[in-house]
Amino acid sequence: MDTKDGVVASRVFCALLMALIMMHNVVNASALSSDGVVQSKPFTIGIISDKPKNKIKSATPFADYMAAQLTHFGYTHGRVIVTATAEEMIQRIENGDVQLITSTLYSALYFESNSSVELSGLRWKQNSADYTSVIFTRRDSNISELEQLKGKTIVFEKPSSTSAFFLPASHLIANGISLQKLSSISQRPDPDKVGYLFIKQQLNNANELNMSIWVYHKRVEAAAFSHIDWADKSTVPKKVSESLSIISETNPFPRSLMLTSTRLGGLERLAIQQAMYSAHEQQLGLASLLSFKETTKIEPISHSAKMHIEQSRHTFSEVLALIE
């Protein structure tokens, strides 16, 4: 794209965002009843994050768009609720405060088991619907398969991570590997088990870069995170990646899922899903999606995605037990 095209595209996008803001104001104005009393009913999207300001800013245009599509159910404007934990979000769901939730697969399965929700949409982020997790070691470690990790240690990121804990842990369990939690990096696992640590519990600055460096410097034998981070040279510098080797990779799993509250009526849930699925086909809808962390579309969950989600359900309780 040349400079002129970029300027035009930028102006078009800004115009669409301004239209969303105007739509927000119009919808709110329509909340006035005949006696002048404001009747407010927000359509609310729930998100788990430790960065509420950023999440609210990015998701509010989409919440406003959804509210505008669902005025016949009484919604007057959009709202975003951000909680730090899944337990807090579950309380919001059960109180009827949240209609739609966006989450990773791990959190989605937790919500499904503990609250009134149903998996209702596959969210495409940056033109990608899914990702895998890779398990890697040093190239010179003589470890080339999962079975050879027994008696050795793998580092995960944190208990709440889908790509850097839930998926690789599920993958190990599904392949007959028993995992043993270690209290420190100096502790060794039993010979027939793979020891694991969460780097978040060991370092203040816990991220994929430090995980790969731990393997590079032989502090642990293996680590795991998403193939997207593996390919990112800012996450795994070339000097480090050249000394590392992937020994196993999971099936592709959804990057992000949308969940609808089942406390709503069936017709309302159907209307929410239809509005989500068609949003990328409308100019205002697409603009609101793009502001939502570069979401390109939300679609029904495909058959293959359902199959992979079902695989995760089989190991979910075992993985959950690893953090208790």
User: In which residue ranges of the chain is CATH 3.40.190.10 found?
Assistant: 3-129+255-310, 133-250
Give the mean model confidence (pLDDT) for residues 130-154. 97
Please report the pLDDT score of residue 16 as a whole number.
Answer: 53
Binned at pLDDT 50, 70 and 90, residue 35 comes out as low
Rounded distance between C-alpha atoms, residue 241 and residue 223, angstroms? 12
What would the two tokens of residue 158 be? Answer: 């944190």
Spatial CA neighbour of 146 closest among 177, 180, 191? 177
**Of 133, 161, 138, 156, which Cα lies nearest the Cα of 227?**
133
Chain centroid to Cα 164, Å, comes to 12
CATH number of 3-129+255-310: 3.40.190.10
Which residue is associated with the tokens 């404007």?
77
Q: What is the pTM of this model?
A: 0.84
pLDDT at 4: 46
- For the cut 60, the answer to whether the pLDDT of residue 172 exceeds it is yes
Give first-to-last CA distance, the chain, whole Å.
51
Average pLDDT for 140-164:
96
pLDDT band at 298 (very low <50, low <70, confident <90, very high): very high
7 has pLDDT over 70: no
pLDDT score, position 28: 46
The answer, yes or no, to whether residue 32 has pLDDT greater than 70, is no
Cα–Cα distance between 242 and 233 in angstroms, integer?
11
Residue type, 191: P
**Residue bearing the bigger pLDDT, 24 or 208:** 208
Q: What is the C-alpha separation between 187 and 202, in angstroms, rounded?
A: 13
Q: Which residues contact 61 (CB under 8 A, 6 or more apart)?
A: 17, 20, 78, 287, 288, 291, 292
For the chain, where are the alpha helices, taking DSSP H only?
3-29, 52-69, 86-94, 105-114, 167-174, 208-216, 227-231, 238-241, 266-278, 283-291, 303-321
Domain spanning 133-250, CATH class: alpha beta
Q: What is the mean pLDDT of residues 194-199?
A: 97
DSSP 8-state code for residue 149: G
